Amino acid sequence: MFNLCRLLDFESTASKMSHSGDREEGTTASKRSLLEGTAASKRSLLEGTTASKRKRRRVHQERPDSPVPSCQSEKDEHTMGRPIDFREGDLSSEQGVRPERPDSLVPCCVSMKSGHSMGLPEYFRKGEQGVHQERSDSPVPSCVPMKSNHTMERPVSFGEGDLSSHQGRVQHEKSTQMKFQTVLRPHQDIKTKLGLKYQHLSEGHQGKRTLVKDIYTDLYITEGGSGWINEEHEVRQIEMAFKRENTQETTIKSNDIFKPVSQQQWDNTKLRGLRNLTKGIAGIGKTVTVQKVILDWAEGEANQDIDFMFPLPFRDLNLIKGQYSLMQLLSLYFPELKEIDSIEDDETKTVFILDGLDEYRLHLDFKNNQKCYDVTESNSVDVLLTNLIEGNMFPSALLWITTRPAAANQIPPECVDQVTEIRGFNEAQKDEYLRKKITNPNLANNIIKHIKSSRTLHIMCHIPVFCWISATVLEMMLKQEEKDEIPNTLIQMYSQFILIQTSVKNKYNKATETNPKEPSQTDKEMILKLSKLAFQQLQKGNLIFYEEDLRECGIDVTEASGYSALCTEIFIEECGLYHKKVFSFVHLSLQEFLAAVHALESCLGKEEHVFPPKAVTQSPFHCDDVEDNDDGDDVEVRKPDKLYDLYRRAVDQALISKNGHLDLFLRFLMGLSLKSNQDLLKGLLTQAGSTTQQNMETLKRTEKYLSDKIKKESSPERTINLFHCLNELGANSLVENMQITLRSGILSEAKLQPHQCSALTYLLLMSEDVLEEFDLKRYNRSAEGYQRFLPVVKNCKRALLSSCNLNYESCKTLGLALQTSKCLLKELDISYNHLEDRGVELLCAGLTSPICKIQTLVLARCKLTSKSCETLISALRTPNCLLRDLILSYNHLEDRGVKLLCAGPATPIFNIRTLDLGHCGLTEGCCLYLASVLRSPNSQIKKLELRDNDLKDAGVTQLSTGMEDPNCKLHALGLSGCLVTEEGCASLASALRSNPFNLRELDLSYNYPGDSGVKLLSAGLDNLQWRPEKLSMDHCENDRLKSGPRKYACDLTLDLNTAYTHLSVSEENRNVTFSELQPYPVHTERFDYWNQVLCSEGLTGRCYWEVERNGEVVIAVTYKGISRKGKDDDSRLGYNDKSWSLDFYDNRCFAYHHSKKTSIPDPASSPWPNRVGVYLDWPAGTLSFYSISSDTLSHIHTFHCTFTEPLYPGFWVGSDSSVSLCQVK
């Protein structure tokens, strides 16, 4: 089928030409009249053109790489009639009178979800002459039909078989022209229809409409996001976006939304049409952006290479029951398509726009829905949608889905090629909008200054609709002669907004003037009904609702339309036989505020609970009259308090929400508990009738309940919201105490309780500064405290979380942080935690986000297997992945893991610069895969670390074949402790002679190269081309050719001068036993209280030793400076910052450092073996303990830190116990 826009010379030219003259108010009517009146003349013109002697052939056009179009008309402008300009200023004043709306199926306006469909802010223009939106930097249209020598009939040639070929061509061209003429009418009618439908926006009150082109400007659209469920409330998401506004990101113009931005997306478009998922919080402008893109296409301004655009809003699809084929479904919206059998072919460029996924009330079951490939086969709407999104139907069509972030995970990742996000206003746009909205310059300056003085208002004004609300309220209040207190909080702003809009509504409807602070009884009843609607729909998670929902709350639809500044009405008249109205509050936060008003008024006025007891999770406060006392041990009986019971139940409900959808509602409810805020709505709310003392008692109980929940709540995000609730109550003691601790400088020494960790997290997240580094180990806290700190990683560039007792569940929070809007985290060290493969899988859900900025990922000793390699490679395949340094050492990856990392001709590992696979259980078998990566011209690996793997000479020889290739870019190679002899050294020397230009560091320590190997490599030092900066061949003895850590065995002896007087040292100072008092002389280094003894040798480098224990003992290492006197922790092994220990007592095992205790799980075969191995890698900062049974080493625990002094092995020996230093074989 033909791409119509490429064949119609007159259409593209007409859409670009315009007559002079300014746009008048009446041009909309003129435009509608002209659009409806000229379609026939266009069709006539087309028929005359296509019937001419010069018949056109279809030229298939790929999307150009260049912004300059590949096809431009070469016809002279006089070869056809002058096109009628239907955009502006070309009709007489008589024609400019706005006609009444015709009785058609075209809706009068668009989505109430977006900023302009419900009294929302004007998307102002950049410049004074209206919106000028360019698809590219070139002034040439992106797709103008071209007439060339191929557009007319080719002459008959007399070669082989040319006659039959010519006849076939003629027949094909006749068939093509018939199809072309069949499609023309619906194509142009649909364009006309969409142009009429989307040219206006609702503005403020019912009936007020504004031309899109008069008010729209491109919003800030970026590449980024993922399908992960964000457990933060959208207000928190906009706060994070505000904090990171100045970061550099890939921005996308709205009309370029169908263009691939990466090579992988270009490759995907060869197989199917581009699938784009656009995210954005409520009210940020998703639907308005969709409207503008459609309007520009319909009016010939952009995307003219597209034949059809089919907008299918999810709010409409909710109304369609029964079964339809996809063509029948499209015909409901576009009856013009009934003239066409099918538009499904590779030559027709079609776009499906599915706007508002979060508004769809059915479940898209991609897993279980039946597969359907026939566009004429009838199915339910949800089945049609899943198959359309999967590409089973219309595989070549382009697809654009918009949604709020919480619903994005419904779309499988494999069905999305590009994720974009709409961010709303930036700082400059906010100021510009307010100056355009408020024409008085002085007043505008005062309003801008006030908004910036309030952090909450300043942040919220990133949302266009809230910017409009703020401008409306502040302008009205500052103009009043009697000045009221200017709003500084959301509660104050929305309270004033409701009262002002009610007053404006009465004035607009010429009703009796009322005092804005005292709404009439009719207005009060309507607002409370709307509040009930807000609460009920919030409970269901609905942002849109229908007539039946209003009727359930006793709201007359006609009457509700008068309050359109609060609840905007959209007439869905086009949806086939469905003539229903759809409603939404102007913004989700206003719905949440009104829901809180309903909850409070139900309790005060009707003494009803909106949260029934059975809906509340069990808690120690379940009974109204029972509450914990301050000690938390006993309970005391109190008088029933209906308000306290409401607040308690609301808190419980909010805490069990998975995505935090009640968080802001709860904050509003807590804020409305204050009398000062209730006074703002005294005309709406029933007075409590309680004394000041009773009110204070209620607030005190509520504060205590929130504080107790903070101590017990496990979800970091829910806990942060509880701090916001305390802030609404003005109860900030927890936060203030933490601020005092911060200022005191003793935070690192303080023992923080979990709730204190939450308070510190709240402070760090609320700070406007981005942390350069966040080191979790700085804070002395419990394992639960670690979990509560995790959200802070969103607010830092470098997060050090190693050795923090994190597990795979922690990775969910971290993965969420990585895909948070504008997260700046570039380096994440999560090593020495028990993440396991499932943890990496959760973490990679964040790494796959296009907005993830992680460049360095450290996963050393996280109990990973080869399965994690498969997961990581999948994440690395994400377009625009920035990960360059990957540390996987001390994991059990084996050769299979390396094969997964390196497999394939275009493996993502090519983009990695540093790859650390030290101590991963590798053998010579993995070197074949590594060599193939090194010799690839696409490989960027500069540093490869393979220490402590049994590669042997065969593996090094294989690796050398990659190093000698000219494509190898390796700068540093670590082969320490890899069982290399002179044979392997000879292979390395040969590779360096062949390719001496790049390698600058080579580590062959702890091998046995022999004299010949040393000579071969040392000779390279004289090579002028190979100038190694570091060649390490230390500790190269014959006994290094052992597998595992035993190659680092060292000899130790006990130091008698340190032994406690009840410890007997024997067997050439290699055995110690608790005994009677020994006649040791007085010595300054002797322990005088604890049963301890140290060894004589101070260790650095890599060292390994084994001990045989009997009874209760402590195996430790310490700096020489540990105290020897007294019973304080300063002299006790493992209880200070100078020593590290593994303790065995009561058949249990514990690790200690600086008094921090780590419980070690019991072995599968109890009890613990008596033989223990200790491996110190001083340069790497690791101290590992192993249990030894049947000559097999099993890892127990590893300390990870930066050692600054030599370490001395030491022991504590209990009564009837002993320790022996063993000879390592």
- Cα 721 versus chain centre, distance: 19
- Asked if residue 235 lies in contact with residue 664, where contact means CB atoms within 8 angstroms, the answer is yes
Cα separation of 844 and 816, whole Å?
Answer: 10
Q: Is the pLDDT of residue 40 over 50?
A: no
Task: Report the 3 state secondary structure along 656-700.
Answer: CCCCCCCHHHHHHHHHHCCHHHHHHCCCCCCCCCCCHHHHHHHHH
Q: What single-letter amino acid sits at 682?
A: K
Residues 6+ apart with CB under 8 A from 521: none
- Cis before residue 121, ω within 30 degrees of 0? no
Cα separation of 799 and 790, whole Å?
Answer: 10
Using DSSP's 3-state secondary structure scheme, residue 893 falls into: coil
Please tell me the predicted confidence (pLDDT) of residue 620: 36
Q: Is the pLDDT of residue 517 over 70?
A: no
CA torsion through residues 228, 231, 233, 237, sign? negative
Q: Give the pLDDT band of residue 346 (cuts 50, 70, 90).
A: low
Lowest mean pLDDT among 124-138, 296-310, 681-695: 124-138
Q: Give the pLDDT band of residue 505 (cuts 50, 70, 90).
A: low
Using DSSP's 3-state secondary structure scheme, residue 774 falls into: strand
Please tell me the predicted confidence (pLDDT) of residue 1147: 86
User: Looking at per-residue confidence, does 535 or 138 come out higher?
Assistant: 535
Please tell me the predicted confidence (pLDDT) of residue 170: 54
Q: Is the pLDDT of residue 140 over 60?
A: no
Model confidence pLDDT, tens digit, residues 408-446: 878 887 888 888 888 778 788 888 888 888 889 999 999
Cα separation of 1006 and 1040, whole Å?
Answer: 6
Please tell me the predicted confidence (pLDDT) of residue 462: 82
β 1182-1189/1192-1200 pair status? antiparallel
* Axis crossing angle, helix 27-37 with helix 162-197, rounded to the nearest 10: 150
Q: Is the pLDDT of residue 722 over 50?
A: yes
- Asked if residue 911 lies in contact with residue 880, where contact means CB atoms within 8 angstroms, the answer is no
Please tell me the predicted confidence (pLDDT) of residue 270: 55
- Cα 969 versus chain centre, distance: 34
Q: What is the mean pLDDT of residues 36-52?
A: 38
Q: Give the pLDDT band of residue 507 (cuts 50, 70, 90).
A: low
β 1156-1159/1148-1153 pair status? antiparallel
Percent of residues, the chain, with pLDDT higher than 70:
71
Q: Give the pLDDT band of residue 909 (cuts 50, 70, 90).
A: confident
Q: What single-letter amino acid sits at 971?
A: H
Q: What is the mean pLDDT of residues 623-638?
A: 44
Task: Report the 3 state secondary structure along 189-220.
Answer: HHHHHHHHHCCEEECCCCCCEEEHHHHCCCCC
Please tell me the predicted confidence (pLDDT) of residue 781: 65
For the beta carbon of residue 331, count every other beta carbon within 10 angstroms: 17
Domains of the chain: 220-422 (3.40.50), 904-1041 (3.80.10.10), 1044-1221 (2.60.120.920)
Please tell me the predicted confidence (pLDDT) of residue 611: 84
Please tell me the predicted confidence (pLDDT) of residue 735: 77
Q: Is the pLDDT of residue 78 over 90?
A: no
The pair of structure tokens assigned to 609 is 């609970």
Q: Nearest Cα to 775, choosing from 230, 1206, 1182, 1202?
A: 1202
Q: What single-letter amino acid sits at 52?
A: S
Q: What is the mean pLDDT of residues 758-778?
A: 83
- Asked if residue 644 lies in contact with residue 609, where contact means CB atoms within 8 angstroms, the answer is no
Q: Nearest Cα to 386, choosing from 354, 417, 359, 421?
A: 354
Rounded to the nearest integer, the mean pLDDT of the chain is 77
CA torsion through residues 1053, 1057, 1063, 1067, sign? positive
Q: What is the mean pLDDT of residues 92-112?
A: 36
Model confidence pLDDT, tens digit, residues 924-971: 999 999 999 999 999 999 999 999 999 999 999 999 999 999 999 999
- Asked if residue 355 lies in contact with residue 286, where contact means CB atoms within 8 angstroms, the answer is yes
Q: Is the pLDDT of residue 160 over 60?
A: no
Q: What is the mean pLDDT of residues 839-865?
A: 90
Please tell me the predicted confidence (pLDDT) of residue 405: 78
Lowest mean pLDDT among 24-38, 373-387, 429-443, 1064-1078: 24-38
- Asked if residue 967 lies in contact with residue 989, where contact means CB atoms within 8 angstroms, the answer is no
Q: Is the pLDDT of residue 56 over 90?
A: no
Q: What single-letter amino acid sits at 1139?
A: S
Q: Is the pLDDT of residue 404 over 80?
A: yes
Please tell me the predicted confidence (pLDDT) of residue 445: 93
This prediction's pTM = 0.66
For the beta carbon of residue 48, count every other beta carbon within 10 angstroms: 11
Model confidence pLDDT, tens digit, residues 557-572: 776 665 555 555 443 3
Q: Is the pLDDT of residue 32 over 50?
A: no
Q: What is the mean pLDDT of residues 336-357?
A: 80
- Asked if residue 99 lies in contact with residue 565, where contact means CB atoms within 8 angstroms, the answer is no
* CB burial of residue 207 (10 Å; 0-12, 13-18, 19+): exposed
Q: Is the pLDDT of residue 905 over 70?
A: no
Q: What is the mean pLDDT of residues 572-595?
A: 70
Beta bridge partners of 1207: 1099
Model confidence pLDDT, tens digit, residues 743-757: 666 666 667 778 888
Percent of residues, the chain, with pLDDT higher than 90:
33
For the beta carbon of residue 271, count every other beta carbon within 10 angstroms: 9
